[in-house]
Amino acid sequence: MTVRMTWDEVRARRLERHALSAPSTGARPAGIVTAMAGVHAQVLSAAELGIALRIEGATRLDVREALWGDRSLVKTYGPRGTVHLLPARDLGMWVGALTALPQANTPPPDQRLTRAQTDEIVAAIGDALADAELTVDELTDAIVERTGPWAGELTMPAFQGMWPRWRQAHHEAGIRGVMCFGPNRGRKVTYTNPHRWLPGLRPMDAKAALGELVHAYLHAYGPSTPQRFAHWLSTPVTWANELFDALGGRLERVEVEGAAAWVSAGDTAAPATSPSGVRLLPYFDTYAYRVGNQPPEFLYPGKAAERVLGGNFQMLLLDGEVAGLWHQRRSGRRLAVTVEPLVALSPARREELDAQVERVGEILEARPELTIGTVTVGGHA
């Protein structure tokens, strides 16, 4: 018998699994990142806020300790080739799965690395970072020393300048598990080899890893479809369809208001209560909350579709739906928080919002001051 669910139940399930219905009382940062199938970390401060909001009493320092202290998190390249925080204990699965995804050659043919050149550069990166934390300029010198001048030729247009040829393999080195981010050196980013911290790191077999990745995705975002899974990974839909078909009985078909979707077999539970509560989500949390699953019309009702959808805004959630946007500006210990609700807030909702703003200040170690008004900056400002 096919299990039938409503979008209301799907939202409640998402909130619960992402620790947004209530902050977790026992999870550590790595556990939250596991539950979310990775956390986008192009702006690390946003990832710190997003993770800490999901853990009762946590601050950004707890996330930093997980990254640079106990090394239970790794900052590297993940889905869509973008910077993510991933659990160290699952890095072998991520490496095995990401290296098995269909690859697209984007540089023009006259700039493109051959497969042999890519392999040589990746090996050079792994060797150079085996016992070091290097800036990009230091890494360039180390790669050229190991491969030859061709790797350092300025062939890639980037930011009104040119990057060396080896940078084509930059993401590839991260995906293959021989490069990750190290702690910043002042304002400069550093890179290192995750094997320094994870000496037992081994890529999982590709077939097994892809199966585990589907289950991780469906736990965080399901019920979902191959099309949305492909969107989440930025891969061809035909490939995703074939992968779901290959998993056969390990997946279970359900219906969400008449539309077919899939979960891991047996994972059909949904919370008994409707989604509720006021939440402030930071930049890029839109990827964790929307991109992986629900059609936008079920998350951006009314004015939200016009005002918030399509931009990387910090979102105000009300009962699991996008109900506004917000912005923060820090000056010393003062944190000016502007929230623009797109619906009327009752006194009880306003109290919840006040509590959320106080929580943001606690996490960021700042004194928050809330203003209800129009957010005048663009997305990701």
* Contact criterion met (CB below 8 Å) for 234 and 216: no
Residue 212 located in a structural domain: no
Residue 215 located in a structural domain: no
Pairing of the two strands 161-164 and 3-5: unpaired
pLDDT of residue 23: 95
Residue 348 located in a structural domain: yes
Per-residue pLDDT of the chain (381 residues; tens, 9 = 90+): 899 999 889 989 999 999 999 999 999 999 999 999 999 999 999 999 999 999 999 999 999 999 999 999 999 999 988 999 999 999 999 999 999 999 765 666 666 789 999 999 999 999 999 999 999 999 999 999 999 999 999 988 887 788 999 999 999 999 999 999 999 999 999 999 999 999 889 999 999 999 999 999 999 999 999 999 999 999 999 999 999 999 999 999 999 999 999 999 999 999 998 888 999 999 988 766 666 666 777 788 899 999 988 788 999 999 989 999 999 999 999 999 999 999 999 999 999 999 999 999 999 999 999 999 999 987 765
Residue 99 located in a structural domain: yes
pLDDT of residue 103: 78
188 lies in the same domain as 296: no
66 lies in the same domain as 174: yes
Among 227, 197, 240, residue whose Cα is nearest residue 86: 197
Identity of the amino acid at 240: A
Report the domain count for the chain: 2
Residue 323 located in a structural domain: yes
Tell me which residue range forms the domain holding 353: 278-372
Q: Please compute Rg for the chain using Cα positions.
A: 22
pLDDT of residue 110: 63
pLDDT of residue 104: 67
**Residue 268 burial by Cβ neighbours in a 10 Å radius (0-12, 13-18, 19+):** middle
188 lies in the same domain as 47: yes
181 lies in the same domain as 312: no
pLDDT of residue 294: 67
Residue 156 located in a structural domain: yes
**DSSP letter string over 285-350?**
HHIIIIITSS-GGGTS-THHHHHTTTS--EEEEETTEEEEEEEEEEETTEEEEEEEESSPPPHHHH
152, 179, 196: which is the final residue of a domain? Answer: 196
Question: Can you tell me whether residue 79 is helix, strand or coil?
Answer: helix
Residue 222 located in a structural domain: no
Instruction: State both tokens at 320.
Output: 């699991």
Pairing of the two strands 83-87 and 39-40: antiparallel
pLDDT of residue 276: 87
Residue 173 located in a structural domain: yes
140, 168, 196: which is the final residue of a domain? Answer: 196
144, 169, 196: which is the final residue of a domain? Answer: 196
pTM, two decimals, is 0.94
Instruction: State both tokens at 125.
Output: 């990166």
